[in-house]
Structure 1
Amino acid sequence: MSKVILFLLLLGLNFSCTHQVNDSLDLSKATILVSKEIKSPMHETAGNVLAEEIERRTTIELEKSNGWGSNTTIALVLQGEADVFGEKVPYAKDADKKHIKKEGYRIVHQKDGKKDILWIIGADARGVLYGIGKLLRIAQMELGHIKIANNLDITSAPEYPLRGHQFGYRNTANSWDAWTVEQFDQHFREQVLFGANSFENIPFQESSSSVHFKVNPQEMEVRLSEICEKYDADYWVWTPAPHDLNVPNAHQEGLKEQEAFYARCPRLDGVFVPGGDPGENHPSKLIPYLKDLSVVLKKYHPDAGIWVSLQGFNEEKVTYFFDYLKANNPDWLKGLVYGPSSPPIDLERELLPEKYLHRFYPDITHTVRCHYPVERWDQAFALTLGREPCNPQPLQYTKLFNKDIGYTDGFITYSDGSHDDVNKVVWSQLGWDSKQDVHDIIFEYCQFFFGPKVAKKSVEGIFALEQNWVGPALGNKVITETLALWQEMEAQHPELTDNWRWQQLVMRAYYDAYIKERLTYEKGLESKAYDILANADTLGAEEAVNEARVYLEKADTELVAQNLKQKVFEYAEALFHSIGAQTSVSKYQAKSAERGAILDFIDYPLNNRWWLEDEFEKVKKLSTENEKLERLEFIRTYEFPGEGSFYDNISSADAKHVTSETDDAIDYLWENDGVSRKRLSTQLFQFTPTLSYDELDADANYLIRVSGYGEALLRANGQRLKPTKYEKGFEQFKEFPLPKNLIQDGKLEITFDKPDEEHLNWRKQSRVTDVWILKQ
């Protein structure tokens, strides 16, 4: 077998290519030569990354050399010329017409007599690493073997110049605060191999703020900077201004803290100061602070830039900010960041002068109470998996990427843990080439991290996990099939048992299946309790309540699917040991119940038994039997108003008449650390839902009933209705008589005007949870 030469070349030449795949090329006896044109530390990094990642997957140790020899003495050389010690760098046919763009690469296989040469030609040092990443992602690597397609010829360059992710070393993240420097180094490397070029830390964390810290956060701030320098990745920091710049000396103290940090960092490329979330500063105070901050930053990092977001800005603040840019045209500002609660992204881009860059700050890590809530997520998952579960959503995030990315120059995503690992790769690769098929991206992810034997099936498994969350969980056969698929792979590939990416995906399959089993069981128990209440007239109120309780209590005394639950706990334990994943507050010291603590909610009631128990106690205290029976009938028919009437739980996955999707920060009530005893329907809502009906009786009288919180400015077929009852608290009601003249065709469209509540925190703004159309 002939030797193979791997070239990592730094060249800014003209290339195009065609991708030809014939038989495979064996690289198991290749040697690596790195061009001296790649300056340190990237000179060492490039060769080490290639050799180490191959060895990690194959146990093959590729030799490195620093000069030409015979076929058995092969060097890896980089230089900017076409001739390398007698070996010509191959040119594409239209070399004079097209350059490899910044950060781009060309991978080309060349046959030279008995010698095979695989060239990785980078437009710059980063391009070399990205070329290595592509090679590693497409190579067939198994124990003792590494092969690629013969006659390979690929040219590629990134579409968007900014492609990064936030990695805050803080206890808010549900795993990273437990990481070592070595774990961050490996993880940043892997992100680069999939096309990322920027990493954003959140400094100024107290060393006592997490029991999981392996390294003092002040030291880790510097280590992360060094890792970015090692891989030639941009190092960013997210650093809010002092909360209130009106406080005496706050401005100066903020600058002093920042300067000490800048002085410690060997590399710093971007400083992002959010205008809000947190912070309530007016731009008249924030802008002078940013201007002074830029002076301090340039003192230590001349090429670094100041960035700011307008998150939480009202119209007056937005106008002030853009008027300032127009009047002053400041050079100290590098760009604007669009994040959750910023003004509309298209408006920002329109108002932003062309000289400034526009960075996207999308939330790819959360499922509810966030930038991009899961569409029509079943409440059973919202109540249990919560805000930060393992959430691979390649299809949804491809759609969201394409929706907004065109207004920006790229992105650094918002992430708070390792649970969104698949989503990071999707964004990195779409930022490289937005026209890629996301299935191909996930295939490379699976082949690189899990190996070629399981790649195809694990791709199916990841997309199946996303489908688990589409539509109502009850009756969703996909959930059962998804578990069976992952169980099959789990049994066939024990070698992946310690792989943390594998662990969290398999755990999700078990978790989803357990929730579906429990949901089916508990809804059935609630239905039987209502059957008992239907006979309350005969049984008597007290006896009906007692018998109904018997069925409700079975959810706690006669448990189901405990084998599935046990597997979830086993994988949670494995994840804690592999990456410090904190899936419980009490067991693994997660920061809070909202931060990935999925174990703490795995048995949260999926029926209304807590609410019913509280209502039963209220019924007992009523004065007369008739009052008790009336209340029990109201409870029983809450979601079942009778023939000719309609009910919708606004944000439920099975709502029949709701036509709107939540498009704001929240669609799930969070109170009492997630342990609410309110009706389940009360815990889901939209701010201004729309509902559509086409089966009303034009000759009948109807009453529209609404539950929620605060205001409900209801319109029926465009006409604002006047209420006859208008209660504003949770589980209280507003009632609107529906004029017959509005439904002559039997059709009805309900909408809600948004009240003027910009001054209120979003958690206190009005919302709608339930809507009834009651035939009188």
Structure 2
Amino acid sequence: MKRFVPVFRLFSLLSTFLLIGSGNARSQSIQLQQAALLVSPGIPAPMRETAPQVLQEEIAKRTGIRPTTRTDWPKSTVVAFVLATDTELYGIPVPTTHKPDKPESFAIVTDVQPRQTTVWVIGHDSRGILFGTGWLLRNLRLSPKQAELPGPVALVSAPAYPIRGHQLGYRTTANSYDAWSVAQYDQYIRELALFGTNAVEAIPFHEDDKPSPHFKIPAAEMRIRIGEICQKYDIDHWVWTPATFDLTDAPKQQAELERHEAFYRACPRLNHIFVPGGDPGHNHPRDLMPFLRDLHTRLVRYHPTGRVWLSLQGFSVDQMDYVFRYLNTEKPTWLAGLVHGPGSPPLAQTRFRLPKQYQMRQYPDITHNVRCEFPVERWDQAFALTLGREAANPRPFFFARTQATWAPFTDGFVSYSDGCHDDVNKVVWSMRGWDPTKDVREILAEYSRFFFGPTLAEPAADGIAALEQNWHGPLAENGGVEASFAFWQKLETGAPALSANWRWQLLLLRAYYDTYTRRRLLYEQRLEQEANALLLRATDPKTAMRQALTLVNQADSQPTAPALRRRIDQLCTDLFASVGLQTSVERHQARSHERGCVLDFVDYPLNNRWWLADQFARIDSLPDKAAAQQRLHEIATWENPGPGSFYDDVSNVSKGPRIKTISDDATDIAWWNNGSSRARLSSQTFQRCPALDYDNLDPGARYTLRVVGFGEALLRVDGQRLEPTVYNRQADTVKEWVVPLTATQDGRIQVTFDQPEESHLNWRQNSRISDIWLIKEKLE
């Protein structure tokens, strides 16, 4: 492990040291209402202009005060921007007690004198100036006509990881980026930089043939403008550009190289080219490596320090071995390193095999909730079916733990993101990439202070943490959702000035949506339970089905919480106006229903009323009353098989108490009919090889295991493979096994399933299991 920990990651000298005087905080604070800005002429352009401009504009937005820039020392408070190499600024010595000496590092030092107060922003280099400005803005208390810094302050801070970035693809599949103007990109990249980001990854060519209806300017123009913005803020400009054609086709390869070179020539700043090996892309590395070399040859003609990267996503063992042999024998100097993304071989193994001269960059998926690298574990089915893959997803504590686990194998990260909905996650990754020891709660407080104001720094931080807790465990049992909602409603009422702030809107949407979904779940599940009870009492199947359907359809005819529903609608409308977030295909022209379209699924059934309507239509055509009543009994007792028997909905955390395994991507695999499937809810969430533990079994009873799913189910009880007595492979059909009496004599069994060999199948055709019963049958 130690061989993977570079020197820059050691924190004995690089950690942030902050000294704030004791006593009354306000009496110790430094007032900046009359502050002037002095800038060292030695700071390289454009940062010499960018840093003071950023400070002026961000203070002015929040206070109405715009500090002036001067070239002489006034008799007022001064914010002085200097480099560590500067000895003086317009005749005044630069402090030497706190001196940044690492790349991108900075110092903040306050000097309070009777006639002069100075806040020194000292950068080791141009980026140090930017990140020092970010620290200052995150820690200033800014409100109308007020600007103060708690002090005194004396700190030096340097980043732990040299690569800290996020992908911001201007493409049609994004749920918001495609609707942004150049000014919005500029502001967002600025804000990321203020929280420690030093890289932005664009997507220059992918989907060029699919322009978004939301584009403010053509994609070809935006890719150049993003390079200009990166130049302005002195942050690295990456591009993600897969080779999606057959590289053995020489004419196509030549055309692609020429397209790249034209972009390289036009782009004012370009630091890194990242070509994924797969997802998408399916070329063997024997063809891909020469192509990367040719890209590098063209890149350095216009950007001499430019570098090329490769991921091993989707590579076979043979292809991975080829890459490592190539690196060990050819030792290409044109390759910067490898990128680890979803579908890559294990990160620790990759770092171990990678020669030391090459870097390792992570490509973490912080944007998706299901069918992704870091799915929400044991996510309640109600959320999975409504919020789906790209909902607003602040997961600060989860991603802090995730980053802490994997970051030590890397030189940093550029995250995968498809929209603004993961904004909190971006900030957490950037700030923990700067300082892995930084308290997550403190990060949330700085986030809230900067974007929502000083009075909301602490309460909004708690509110964001509460939203993450909303997704933990069975939703019906999570009373914290209502408490979180009441908290956010109080914040909303007390902060009307934030009504147009898109980050505020996004968090409010989650608070309202979570609560509305929980109330619907409780209501609609109760309606179904009442309908099942009615079916069990039925003497006339037709009348019972009509009455049961009327009952469950009260979810539509007499919906719960209409005021919450209206507020969700309004927030989605506001978010489309403020930040281009497309929460509906019909209303906002989203690319597809799974691209963050939470408005399209806000009323998706949380009981089985659609499935029941279809089942009742089939039952109505059965030949006799007895058959109809038998089928109604099966439906009514689906989840309640009787005393001593057990039922588990395999991927529903609320209804699968015996399930021990976690399904990484169950709900997204069941993405049928654009997310509007009429199938039974339990069949839409499933696992391939679940494991279950049963106890308190009756040693004097015989048990039958029943499974509903699709394809194969290779079942074992206590490790012994059982032969089925019923074995249907079609979707939503039954398989059964008789449990040996010897297995239940101790009152417990463990049920597992072997993985069938299905590597030849498309993943959509893989076997799956959705429902499992253990049925108790009395011995004769």
Aligned residue for 1:223? 225
Question: In 2, are the aligned partners of 1:65 and 1:74 still within 8 Å (CA)?
Answer: no
Cα deviation 1:567-612 (Å, max 9, x = unaligned):
0111111111111111111111111111111111111111011111
Cα deviation, residue 182, structure 1:
0.6
Q: What is the TM-score when the length of structure 2 is the normalising length?
A: 0.94
Cα deviation, residue 51, structure 1:
1.2
Residues of 2 paired with 1:320 and 1:622: CA distance?
Answer: 61
Residues of 1 paired with 2:301 and 2:327: CA distance?
Answer: 23
Cα deviation, residue 377, structure 1:
1.1
Question: In 1, are the aligned partners of 2:35 and 2:79 still within 8 Å (CA)?
Answer: no
Aligned residue for 1:234? 236
Q: Per the alignment, in what secondary structure is the counterpart of residue 249 of structure 1?
A: helix
13-22 vs 664-673, which deviates more? 13-22
Aligned residue for 1:49? 54
Q: Which amino acid in structure 2 is aligned with residue 282 of structure 1?
A: H
What is the root-mean-square deviation in Å for CA atoms of aligned residues? 2.0
Aligned length: 757
Residues of 2 paired with 1:327 and 1:773: CA distance?
Answer: 58
Question: In 1, are the aligned partners of 2:689 and 2:769 still within 8 Å (CA)?
Answer: yes
Question: In 1, are the aligned partners of 2:108 and 2:156 still within 8 Å (CA)?
Answer: yes
Q: Give matches, 1:268-667, under 5 Å.
A: 268-536=270-538, 539-654=539-654, 655-663=656-664
Question: In 1, are the aligned partners of 2:104 and 2:127 still within 8 Å (CA)?
Answer: yes
Q: Which amino acid in structure 1 is aligned with residue 237 of structure 2?
A: Y
Cα deviation, residue 691, structure 1:
1.5
Residues of 2 paired with 1:14 and 1:358: CA distance?
Answer: 21
Question: In 1, are the aligned partners of 2:651 and 2:770 still within 8 Å (CA)?
Answer: yes
Aligned residue for 1:201? 202
Residues of 2 paired with 1:232 and 1:664: CA distance?
Answer: 39
Q: Which amino acid in structure 2 is aligned with residue 143 of structure 1?
A: P
Cα deviation 1:224-268 (Å, max 9, x = unaligned):
000001001000111010333344533222222222211111111
Aligned residue for 2:67? 62
Question: In 2, are the aligned partners of 1:236 and 1:268 still within 8 Å (CA)?
Answer: yes
Cα deviation, residue 191, structure 1:
0.2
Residues of 1 paired with 2:690 and 2:134: CA distance?
Answer: 46
Q: Per the alignment, in what secondary structure is the counterpart of residue 771 of structure 1?
A: strand
Residues of 2 paired with 1:14 and 1:554: CA distance?
Answer: 61
Cα deviation 1:731-762 (Å, max 9, x = unaligned):
11222222232333222222222223334343
Gaps of 5+ in 2: 1-12, 23-27
Cα deviation, residue 550, structure 1:
1.6
Gaps of 5+ in 1: 1-12
Residues of 1 paired with 2:422 and 2:650: CA distance?
Answer: 28
Residues of 2 paired with 1:360 and 1:665: CA distance?
Answer: 25
Cα deviation 1:698-745 (Å, max 9, x = unaligned):
332222222222222222222222222222232112222222323332
Q: Per the alignment, in what secondary structure is the counterpart of residue 488 of structure 1?
A: helix
Q: Relative to 1, partners in 2 of residues 1:697 and 1:320: Cα closer, same or farther, differing over 3 Å?
A: farther
Residues of 2 paired with 1:140 and 1:463: CA distance?
Answer: 22
Aligned residue for 1:123? 124
Question: In 1, are the aligned partners of 2:81 and 2:122 still within 8 Å (CA)?
Answer: no
Question: In 1, are the aligned partners of 2:666 and 2:687 still within 8 Å (CA)?
Answer: no
598-607 vs 627-636, which deviates more? 627-636
Q: Give matches, 1:702-741, under 5 Å.
A: 702-741=703-742
Residues of 2 paired with 1:76 and 1:264: CA distance?
Answer: 36
Cα deviation 1:493-526 (Å, max 9, x = unaligned):
1110111100111111111111111111111111
Question: In 1, are the aligned partners of 2:36 and 2:74 still within 8 Å (CA)?
Answer: no
Q: Which amino acid in structure 1 is aligned with residue 344 of structure 2?
A: S
Say if 2:272 is the partner of 1:267.
Answer: no
Question: In 1, are the aligned partners of 2:178 and 2:215 still within 8 Å (CA)?
Answer: yes
Question: In 2, are the aligned partners of 1:372 and 1:665 still within 8 Å (CA)?
Answer: no
Residues of 1 paired with 2:581 and 2:36: CA distance?
Answer: 38
Residues of 2 paired with 1:525 and 1:466: CA distance?
Answer: 29
Q: Per the alignment, in what secondary structure is the counterpart of residue 434 of structure 1?
A: coil
Cα deviation, residue 74, structure 1:
6.1
Aligned residue for 1:10? none
Cα deviation, residue 531, structure 1:
0.7
Q: Relative to 1, partners in 2 of residues 1:471 and 1:460: Cα closer, same or farther, differing over 3 Å?
A: same
Q: Relative to 1, partners in 2 of residues 1:70 and 1:242: Cα closer, same or farther, differing over 3 Å?
A: closer
Q: Per the alignment, in what secondary structure is the counterpart of residue 474 of structure 1?
A: helix
Cα deviation, residue 304, structure 1:
1.4
Q: Which amino acid in structure 1 is aligned with residue 751 of structure 2?
A: I
719-728 vs 155-164, which deviates more? 719-728
Question: In 1, are the aligned partners of 2:337 and 2:358 still within 8 Å (CA)?
Answer: yes
Residues of 2 paired with 1:507 and 1:419: CA distance?
Answer: 11
Residues of 2 paired with 1:370 and 1:261: CA distance?
Answer: 31
Say if 2:184 is the partner of 1:179.
Answer: no
Residues of 2 paired with 1:152 and 1:73: CA distance?
Answer: 15
Say if 2:15 is the partner of 1:19.
Answer: no
Residues of 2 paired with 1:404 and 1:688: CA distance?
Answer: 27
Question: In 1, are the aligned partners of 2:706 and 2:775 still within 8 Å (CA)?
Answer: yes
Q: Which amino acid in structure 2 is aligned with residue 233 of structure 1?
A: I
Q: What is the TM-score when the length of structure 1 is the normalising length?
A: 0.94
Cα deviation, residue 661, structure 1:
1.7
Q: Give matches, 1:54-93, under 5 Å.
A: 54-66=59-71, 68-71=72-75, 76=80, 78-79=82-83, 80-92=85-97
Residues of 1 paired with 2:357 and 2:298: CA distance?
Answer: 22
Aligned residue for 2:6? none
Q: Which amino acid in structure 1 is aligned with residue 636 of structure 2?
A: R
Q: Relative to 1, partners in 2 of residues 1:544 and 1:743: Cα closer, same or farther, differing over 3 Å?
A: same
Question: In 1, are the aligned partners of 2:164 and 2:414 still within 8 Å (CA)?
Answer: yes
Residues of 2 paired with 1:15 and 1:203: CA distance?
Answer: 37
Residues of 1 paired with 2:190 and 2:512: CA distance?
Answer: 30
Q: Which amino acid in structure 1 is aligned with residue 731 of structure 2?
A: F
Aligned residue for 1:3? none
Residues of 2 paired with 1:36 and 1:642: CA distance?
Answer: 82
Aligned residue for 1:4? none
Question: In 2, are the aligned partners of 1:367 and 1:387 still within 8 Å (CA)?
Answer: yes
Q: Relative to 1, partners in 2 of residues 1:500 and 1:614: Cα closer, same or farther, differing over 3 Å?
A: same
Cα deviation, residue 656, structure 1:
0.4
Residues of 1 paired with 2:669 and 2:695: CA distance?
Answer: 28
Question: In 2, are the aligned partners of 1:158 and 1:432 still within 8 Å (CA)?
Answer: yes
Residues of 1 paired with 2:606 and 2:504: CA distance?
Answer: 28
Q: Relative to 1, partners in 2 of residues 1:543 and 1:40: Cα closer, same or farther, differing over 3 Å?
A: same
Q: Which amino acid in structure 2 is aligned with residue 372 of structure 1?
A: F
Cα deviation 1:30-60 (Å, max 9, x = unaligned):
1111111111111100111111111111111
Aligned residue for 1:685? 686
Aligned residue for 1:134? 135
